[in-house]
Amino acid sequence: MTISLERKFTNAIVRKPCPDMVNGITSANLGKPDYSKALEQHLQYISALKECGLNVTVLESLNDFPDSTFIEDAALCTSKFAVITNPGAPERNGEKIFMHEVLKEFFSNIEEIYSPGTLDAGDVMMAGNYFYIGISERTNHEGAEQLINILRKYGMDGTKVPLNTMLHLKTGLSYLENNNLLVSGEFINNPVFSEFSHITVEENEAYAANSLWVNGYVIVPEGFPKTKLLIENAGYQTITINVSEFQKLDGGLSCLSLRF
Ligand code: CIR
């Protein structure tokens, strides 16, 4: 099921990286991030979100959680409610504790995912009122089913998408609104996404499959010219930023913020 309504975001929440981010979880084999470069890149990211018209709330870093700058995984924000997730990596699970305080400033309806359900919101792709939920090493069936039940309470719905190799669903997919789906790797031929119009990312630019639509703009990671051109040819204005230090931790553009 696809919906072509284009949404408009007004807010973003980001979390400043902490010095211990250099010890974040990774499978990337790109070396350790440079903290001062990461701070600079994070400021560029905030500027890009502002350029797209968002009010950006910047949260203080959480020193005990190296991956907490990837705030997208700890909460899901929709037009009607927010969900505090139950992150699937044990060393990241405690990030959820800090989300209620933050979200209550913006949402009167706050839901939660409970154990044994686990869910990282990097596994959740929103397309209008319909949500695709990756079943991954971080998100289990129980967590996804809890989310689907929450969605139904608010007149929304969703479906599960088992992953093979990707870390998160949105590692390999980005919804660019207007029925356009940026798609890579294992998702290219997945029939679940066949109703979307595909913009297919080449294997050697796979990281750019996590580009970020915000209010008609698409923020694209620096260094992936073919994908940038494909997105521009589909009619979008792009903003390019360097997020190399976050890529070293398997993190992409969407992971670095909550948008609503
Ligand atoms: C992790 O492994 O959890 C972090 N190093 C990267 C999280 C990236 N988040 C995302 O794709 N939503």
Residue 59: its pLDDT value, please?
Answer: 98
Neighbours of 88 (CB within 10 A): 21
Residue 226: its pLDDT value, please?
Answer: 98
Q: Is 99 exposed, middle or buried (0-12, 13-18, 19+ CB in 10 A)?
A: buried
Low-confidence ranges of the chain (pLDDT < 50): 1-4
Asked if residue 141 lies in contact with residue 135, where contact means CB atoms within 8 angstroms, the answer is yes
- Tell me the C-alpha distance between 96 and 110, whole Å: 13
For residue 250, report the distance from its CA to the centre of ligand 1, in Å: 6
110-141 pLDDT, tens digit per residue, is 999 999 999 999 999 999 999 999 999 999 99
Q: Which of 167, 199, 166, 168 is nearest to 185 (CA)?
A: 166
For residue 101, report the distance from its CA to the centre of ligand 1, in Å: 22
DSSP 8-state symbol, 70: -
168 labelled catalytic:
yes
For residue 255, report the distance from its CA to the centre of ligand 1, in Å: 7
100 labelled catalytic:
no
Asked if residue 187 lies in contact with residue 174, where contact means CB atoms within 8 angstroms, the answer is no
DSSP codes of every residue in 95-119: GGGGHHHHHTTT-S-EEE--TT--B
**CB-defined site of ligand 1, < 6 Å:** 24-26, 67, 70, 72-73, 89, 92, 122, 167-168, 170-171, 249-252, 255
Residue 159: its pLDDT value, please?
Answer: 98
Asked if residue 220 lies in contact with residue 176, where contact means CB atoms within 8 angstroms, the answer is no
235-252 pLDDT, tens digit per residue, is 999 999 999 999 999 999
Residue 60: its pLDDT value, please?
Answer: 98
What domains sit in the chain, N to C, each tagged with a CATH number? 11-259 (3.75.10.10)
Ligand 1 mutation target, pool 166, 255, 256, 259, most atoms within 8 A of CB: 255
Residue 5: its pLDDT value, please?
Answer: 57
Backbone angles phi, psi at 64, to 5 degrees: -90, 0
